[in-house]
Amino acid sequence: MDRVTTATHCPYCALQCGMSLGAPAADHPGIPVVGGRDFPTNRGGLCKKGWTSAEVLGTPGRVTRPLLRGADGRLAESDWDTVLDLIADRLRASRREHGADSVAVFGGGGLTNEKAYQLGKFARLALGTSRIDYNGRFCMSSAAAAGNRAFGVDRGLPFPVTDLDDADTVLILGSNVAATMPPFVAHLAGVRERGGLIIVDPRRSATAALTDDGAGIHLQPTPGSDLVLLLGLLHLVIAEDLVDHDYLAERTSGWEGVRRSTAPWWPEAVQARTGVPVEQLRAVARRLARGRGTFILTGRGVEQHVDGTDTATAAINLALALGLVGRPGSGYGTMTGQGNGQGGREHGQKCDQLPGYRSISNPAAREHVAAVWGVDAATIPGPGVPAIRLLRELGEPGGVRCLLVHGSNVVVSAPDAAAVRTALERLDLLVVCDFVLSETAALADVVIPVPQWAEEEGTMTSLEGRVLRRRRALDAPDGVRSELWILRELAARLDAPSVWSTEPSVVFDELARASAGGLADYSGLSHELLDTGVAAYWPYPTGSTGTPRLFLDRFAHDDGRARLVPVRARAADDPAQRDGVLTLITGRLLEHYQSGAQTRRVPELQDAQPIARLQIHPATADRLGIADEAPVEISTTRGTVRCVSQLSADIRHDTVFLPFHYAGAESANLLTEGAVDPISGMPEFKRTTVTVRPVGGVR
């Protein structure tokens, strides 16, 4: 393509930093030069992942031809007609012999809005299956469930991130933004100067370290005790009469039940359960109630639990009690992780939703979407099952026999990874769309090569609910086809009804019509309008100028009020910290992203963090006979991980930390379990009882 500079956005996290892609340098043919771009979220800055993002485009071993597993068990290059005919024949046979729900789709939070929308449509119309979900279930589901029941709608940040610049107090629970989205830290500069940054994390993470030198407070609770901590903070707000009574009376319902639910959590009881000193609890409660620009933000650290929805709800209850939500200069939000984690769940990848954040069980919603698709509403399947249950159905009698995977690497990212791998191997057909031979693609019967982020047009929706244009800066390699083309070809072979465009702008226009009148209404948007640079925050119905700040006048429930929902903490069940039994938390590193399928292929990033390291406190390591940088073995009943130790006083004595970006014997999700939050379906990633021991010999 004959473009010198292309304005686009980073392919990684939901901050969606603005960047530019210039002409390739002479010594890196085919790899555009990355530049920072003045954009509100990052103001020209990028993190290591952003600056090196173009390197992935030229990674060795990129898949550029369809791969088909032969009789010898090996993957070999094939042609498009052969693989598409085979896929269609196998899907049709499975539906005929085992029913429509024997075919399933697993999507990804990195897909553009256009691809996510078309994938959901394809599952319902071309496959006729209810079995579709996506890896966003592992990311935002608890926060989404809490937001929906409290506010009637879920948008990660219901305000622009720039609102944080003038904050007096910011409480961040379970999000290490300094490592996961570093440009975000610039928005915390003001609150640090005012001494109001409060971080909740069992580790002294890079974000927690931002509270040093009087910049704020770091609370270091036991893993999984965040719900108790939040109940205790609300107890103090009530006991010291720091509640905004007028706000509660005018804008909420359910306060009395929530007030009673906090009664057991007086400060000393909270200290005993969480390990957070009473003095810190009181200081935080009073700081939050100062009323001059207070924000409460949650992240995966407090949401990836079996009580994650209730924990996010407790944070919302605290924010509502203080009168923060829907007031300019204050607020509550949650830190969306994946690049299109927000848009990916709004338009059809979730098992229970149709485009526009509509419930698939709602008759009016079904009729509206069916009219856009040109089908009878009765032909749209009902709700399916969340991701973990879907993965458990793979290869089981009466379960899923064929699986299509788009934009996800479940062998590394899903909990109880060994069981997931076994389930994938039981399938009659596994088709994976990817640009490299990821750990999941390596198991596939068919691997479909697809474009990378800089090779496609489309839109993404950031953590602020802002719809952004992704623009093509270079052409994909010969032989690579877009998912829109692939879905059209398969839809034709499966005699699917409706229209299947391969043009992203046309698909977006259809998405906009399908979303009209829904909670996530994009009907006033188009590629043409977005190309003008308009700040497009949803809902953006036809004739509007968008909604940068939600809830200023009313919440999305019919009566316009927010719902306060009482929640209760589980009984304490911490194991005795002896004989090497510790609590494992998992998380991210600055240099890597998600399952590492992309970043482990970037030399600069891989060289910086080439192996998995278990962070462990020096005193705990000494007790277990573990030296720094020594081989260790971490075990549960589900599996064993082997890596090296990293001694650090930045973690609690009873806790260890392992990044989840690595594969094989270093894969953290060999240890995690498939227990889920009963409301959201979120797995328990952040609290796993493990045994740690040293391993003799040289690594």
Residue 644 has pLDDT above 50, yes or no: yes
Q: Using one digit for the tens of pLDDT, what is the confidence trace for 621-637?
A: 999 999 999 999 999 99
The pLDDT of residue 215 is 96
> 130-142 pLDDT, tens per residue?
999 999 899 889 9
pLDDT for position 583: 95
Instruction: Place 578 in a pLDDT band, splitting at 50, 70 and 90.
Output: low
What Cα–Cα distance (Å) separates residue 495 from each residue in 65, 122, 374, 404, 510?
25, 11, 14, 18, 20
pLDDT value of residue 27: 72
Whether 270 and 229 have beta carbons less than 8 Å apart is answered as yes
pLDDT given at position 577: 59
Q: What is the pLDDT of residues 180-204, one digit of tens each?
A: 999 999 999 999 999 999 999 999 9
Average pLDDT score over residue span 480-493: 98
How high is the pLDDT of residue 117? 98
Model confidence at 575: pLDDT above 60 = no
pLDDT band per the 50, 70, 90 thresholds, residue 43: very high
Q: Which of 132-141, 157-166, 663-672 has the lowest mean pLDDT?
A: 132-141
Measured CA to CA in angstroms, residue 568 lies from 225, 489, 547, 683 at distances of 12, 50, 34, 19
pLDDT for 565 = 98
Give the pLDDT confidence score for residue 401 in this predicted structure. Answer: 98
Is the CB of residue 315 less than 8 Å from the CB of residue 332? yes
Q: How confident is the model at residue 444 (pLDDT cuts 50, 70, 90)?
A: very high
pLDDT at 699: 35
**Range in 518-527, 579-588, 662-671 the model is least confident about:** 579-588
Name the pLDDT band for 336 (thresholds 50, 70, 90).
confident
Q: Is the pLDDT of residue 390 over 50?
A: yes
CATH no. for 67-138+385-530: 3.40.50.740
- Three-class DSSP category at 294: strand
Which helix (H) or strand (E) covers residue 299, if one does? none
Nearest to 251 by CA among 636, 670, 564: 564
Residue 213 predicted with pLDDT over 60: yes
> Residues 425-441: pLDDT tens digits?
999 999 999 999 999 99
CATH architecture of 141-334: 3-Layer(aba) Sandwich (3.40)
Q: Taking 50 as the threshold, does the pLDDT of residue 252 lie above it?
A: yes
Supply the pLDDT for residue 579: 67
Average pLDDT over residues 337-351: 89
Q: If we measure between CA atoms, which residue out of 171, 230, 179 comes closest to residue 205?
A: 179
Strand, coil or helix: 18: strand
DSSP label of 539: P
Give me the sign of the Cα torsion angle 28, 31, 32, 37.
negative
How much is the average pLDDT of 545-557?
97
Q: Average of pLDDT values for 497-521?
A: 98
Strand partners, 199: 172, 218
Fold of 581-694: Barwin-like endoglucanases (2.40.40)
Task: Please state the domain extents for the chain.
Answer: 5-58, 67-138+385-530, 141-334, 581-694
Q: Is the pLDDT of residue 261 over 50?
A: yes
CATH code, 5-58? 2.20.25.90
**pLDDT interval class at 697 (50, 70, 90):** very low
Average pLDDT along the chain = 95
Is the pLDDT at 241 greater than 60, yes or no? yes
What span, in angstroms and rounded, lies between the C-alpha atoms of 596 and 609? 11
Work out the pLDDT band at 288, boundaries 50, 70, 90: very high
Of 25-29, 31-35, 65-69, 579-583, highest mean pLDDT: 65-69
For range 262-274, the mean pLDDT = 97
This prediction has a pTM of 0.96
The pLDDT of residue 571 is 78
Residue 2 has pLDDT above 50, yes or no: no
| CA–centroid distance for 179 within its chain | 15
Structure tokens at 219: 């609370």
